[in-house]
A and B are shown apart, each in its own frame.
Chain A
Amino acid sequence: MGEARRPCKQPRRRLRVVLAAATAAACRVLAAATAAACRVLAAATAAACRVLAGRDSRRVFQYMSAAVTDLPDALPAPAPRPHPRQPLLLGGRRGAPVADPALCRLPAPAASAGADVSRAVTASTMEAIEASGRGVIHSFVVMHHPPVPPFEYPNVIVLVELAEGRVSSRASPGRSRRRPDRHGGARRLRDGRRRPRAALLPSGGGAEGGGRATTGDVPGPDRDRRHRRDRVLEGLGAERAQARLRGRDERRSTTPGSRRPTSTASRPS
């Protein structure tokens, strides 16, 4: 019986082999096509992201409240900005693409409307304006993530309080490999100027104004750790930063014995 079957079985087996081969070939072709398509897509996405990240302008889209725009003097003509491409934030250099076009809210035009109205996003009127390029870091994230092109890791992302409103941005394209809290020493920027060193300052306060709002400065290991950690929350222009750091050094030298100043503007780096 078995021998009788064999002739019938052979063609079937051959057919199966042919079919399998055909399927495999089709799969290979499909996989190759898919891979190619994916590569093209990824490249396009990466290119788009590069374009986005590298665009050399600091435009800010502003939503304006209808109630505000209707008022004649609600939006006074912006004063001319002498240096629209001033260095911004952590290591921003002149002309560097730092902040990208991003959404922000119109800060209170206090003269004509209360803060309630001005902060509300009620109108669809939107326009692009050139940002002054100066800002204060409101918060930041050092992003650790399985690599996603085109980002470099660790990727420092900042939330910036621009004069025009709050935006998110990468801290400084091409410079994000360093952790911001390890910018210890003085570094020179490409154009020869000193890198503005970042220093912790009380939010919104002057050099001696604010200090901490809370009971945070209880002596102990917590405090020391806190001081080590808290250093980059405000980016400064080079001159201001140096002035502040000079001031800090003076204060430090006048208080021998007190290892770390508490509740003062600057923290040791």
Chain B
Amino acid sequence: MMDNNPEIEVARAIGAGPLRFFSRIHYGGGAACAVVMQAALAVGSGAADVVVCYRAMNERSQQRFGIGTTPTARVATTETAHFGWYAPFGLLTPASWVAMQGQRYLHDYGATTEDFGRVSVACRRHAATNPRRGSTASRSRSPTTRRRAGSSGRFASSTAARRATGRSRSSSTTLERARDAKQPPAVIRAAAQGASRDQQMMTSYYRDAIGDLPEMADVARELYAQSGLGPKDFQTAVIYDHFTPFVLAQLEAFGFCGRGEAQGLHPRRPRSRSVARLPINTHGGQLGEAYIHGMNGVAEGVRQVRGTAVNQVRGVEHVLVTAGTGVPTSAIILGKI
């Protein structure tokens, strides 16, 4: 993934031998599962034997995401130029870019900000029993109440993932090697990246339905085709939750419910039973555990498959892990050996 720690420095720090394959994938959290996919490709092709995927973030004193304004002028590139159509009006931050799409989601499907708030509540509740949760989250020991998360009109600010400091990594290798490893492995059943038509970085506003995530629907189709699995085959899922509106859109993209029906995600009044049966982000997600661009979600997926998660779901056969959305994205399916 994108990272402030180059591969060579990490290799020096851990005393690794010569590197045969290294790579970084762009688009922030959208790369969380893409790195696993490309690691699998490297191992599959023989370019590498073992690939370590890592992401470390220190948003307190290092690069901070989500501010929107920068103290110094940035050189315009093709990637940043389109922000020139939003920034002059004051649409400056990732939260506001997503809010534009979330607002349309509310309008299209009759959802409320409370529906978004439930995602936060679920994540914080899971995080409350997770000793790994970030220090920011740990300050509020009690899970966020629905009232606090949902009744706020400013859902853009209340549902964004908090800044965090942390790191996460996973290793990919061949099945034969993994069998010999100390820890039981999780098998990568399927992996795909996705960028849909008219994709922009965070501001894909020129599509017909801006409340949906067509790139994630593409990824879902690809994953299901590769693995032969369907929405009913997952016991738990790690749905990237940088912004809660996109969690609902992802659940819909993966067919856990119909379009616009993810608002039924409610522990007591489930309108869509398949969603209600699917515990998501059992580690607390980006909202509850830490915002580490989704690599901690991959780690949680592995733990759920191994049976070592802090909020372990019973009888896990397959776990879906998704990466950041609103940007070119990716997802993987992890399964038992």
A residues with a Cβ closer than 8 A to B are 49, 52-53, 100, 102-105, 119, 121, 138-145, 148, 151, 155, 157, 159, 165-170, 200, 203, 212-218, 222, 225-226, 229-230, 233
Interface of A is mostly: mixed
Evaluate whether A143 and B90 lie within 8 angstroms (CB atoms) in the complex, with A138-B210, A203-B108, A233-B107 already known: yes
A29 shortest CB reach to chain B, Å: 22
Question: Are B107 and A230 neighbours in the complex by a CB distance under 8 Å?
Answer: yes
Minimum CB distance partner of B266 in chain A: A222
Residues of chain A lying within 8 A (CB to CB) of residue B86: 157, 168
Q: Provide the residues of chain A in CB contact with B264, threshold 8 Å.
A: 215
B106 at the interface (CB under 8 A from A): yes
B108:A213 contact, CB within 8 angstroms: yes
Residues in chain A near residue B153, CB distance under 8 A:
142, 229
9 new A-B contacts at CB < 8 Å, known A203-B107, A212-B110: A52-B88, A100-B88, A139-B101, A157-B91, A157-B100, A159-B210, A168-B86, A214-B110, A216-B260
Check B114 against A222 for contact (C-beta < 8 Å): yes
Residues of B within 8 A of A215 (CB): 110, 260-261, 264, 271
- Which chain A residues border B197 with CB–CB below 8 Å? 119
Contact A141 B154 (CB under 8 A): no
Residues on the A chain within 8 Å of B90, using CB: 143, 145, 148, 151, 155, 157, 170
A216 to B264, CA, bound (A): 9
Number of interface residues of B (CB under 8 A): 42
A217–B85 touching, CB < 8 Å: no
Q: What residues of chain A lie closer than 8 Å to B113, measured between beta carbons? A: 229
Q: Which residue of A lies closest to B151 (CB)?
A: A225
- Docked pose: A213 CA to B109 CA in angstroms: 6
Q: With A and B bound together, what is the CA distance between A142 and B102 in angstroms?
A: 12
Complex contacts, B92 vs chain A, CB 8 Å: 143, 145, 148
Interface centre among B88, B156, B198 (most CB of A within 10 A): B88
Say yes or no: A105-B88 contact (C-beta < 8 A), given A214-B109, A214-B260.
no
User: In the docked arrangement, what's the CA distance between A104 and B92, Å?
Assistant: 19
User: Inside 8 A of A230's CB, which chain B residues have their CB?
Assistant: 106-107, 110
Does B131 touch A at the CB level, under 8 Å?
Answer: no
Q: When the two chains form the complex, which single residue of A49, A151, A217 contacts B110, counting CB atoms closer than 8 Å?
A: A217
A-B contact pairs, 24 of them (CB 8 A): A49-B88, A102-B85, A103-B82, A103-B85, A121-B198, A138-B104, A145-B90, A157-B91, A159-B100, A166-B206, A167-B85, A213-B108, A214-B109, A214-B110, A214-B259, A215-B260, A215-B261, A216-B111, A216-B263, A222-B112, A222-B115, A226-B112, A229-B112, A230-B110
CA distance A111 to B68 in the complex (A): 42
Bound complex: CA A155 to CA B198 (Å): 27
Residue ID in chain B nearest A226 by CB atoms: B112
Inter-chain CA distance A89–B91, complex, in Å, is 18
Docked CA distance A222–B271 (Å): 13
Which of B110, B156, B263 has the most chain A CB atoms closer than 10 A to its own CB? B110
Q: Which of these, A103, A140, A225, contacts B112 with CB under 8 Å? A: A225
- List residues of B (187-239) whose CB comes within 8 Å of A's CBs: 197-198, 205-206, 210
Provide the B99-143 mask, 1 if CB < 8 A to any CB of A, else 0.
111011011111111110000000000000000000000000000
Structural contact, B205 and A159, CB atoms closer than 8 A: yes
Q: Chain B contacts of A203 at CB under 8 A?
A: 107-108
B260 A213 Cβ-Cβ under 8 A: yes
Kindly list chain B residues whose C-beta atoms are within 8 Å of the C-beta of A102. 85
Is residue B96 contacting chain A, with contact meaning CB distance below 8 A?
yes
Q: Is the CB of B89 within 8 A of A168?
A: yes
Highest count of chain A CB atoms <10 Å: which of B92, B96, B112: B112
B93 adjacent to chain A (CB < 8 Å): yes
CA distance A170 to B91 in the complex (A): 9
Contact (Cβ within 8 A) A157 B96: yes
Considering the complex, give the chain B residue whose CB is closest to the CB of A214. B260
**Cα-based distance from A145 to B157 in the complex (angstroms):** 9
**A residues in contact with B68, CB < 8 Å:** 145
A225 to B260, CA, bound (A): 18
Name the residue of chain B whose CB is nearest to the CB of A220.
Answer: B269
Q: How far is the CA of A151 from the CA of B86 in the complex (A)?
A: 13
Query: B45: CB under 8 A from chain A?
Result: no
Closest B residue to A224 using CB positions? B112
| Interface positions of B from 65 to 102, Cβ below 8 Å from A | 68-69, 82, 85-86, 88-93, 96, 99-101
Given contacts A168-B85, A216-B263, contact A140 B100 (CB under 8 A): yes
> Quick check: B206 and A105 within 8 Å, CB to CB?
yes
Q: A7 → chain B, closest Cβ, in Å?
A: 48
Q: Are B88 and A140 closer than 8 Å at their CB atoms?
A: no
Q: Quick one: which of A100, A121, A159, A167 has the most chain B CB within 10 A?
A: A159
Chain B nearest CB, measured from A199 CB (Å): 13
Contacts of B260 in A (CB 8 A): 213-216
Q: Is the CB of A166 within 8 A of B205?
A: yes
Report how far A169 CA is from B100 CA in the complex, Å.
12
Taking a contact as CB atoms closer than 8 A, the residue among B82, B103, B154 that contacts A139 in the complex is: B103
Q: Please, which residue of chain B has its CB at the minimum distance from the CB of A166?
A: B206
Determine which of B82, B89, B101 lies in contact with A169 in the assembled complex, contact meaning CB atoms within 8 Å. Answer: B89
Alpha-carbon distance between A119 and B208 when the two chains are bound, in angstroms: 11
A157-B90, A226-B112 known; A144 and B206 CB under 8 Å?
no
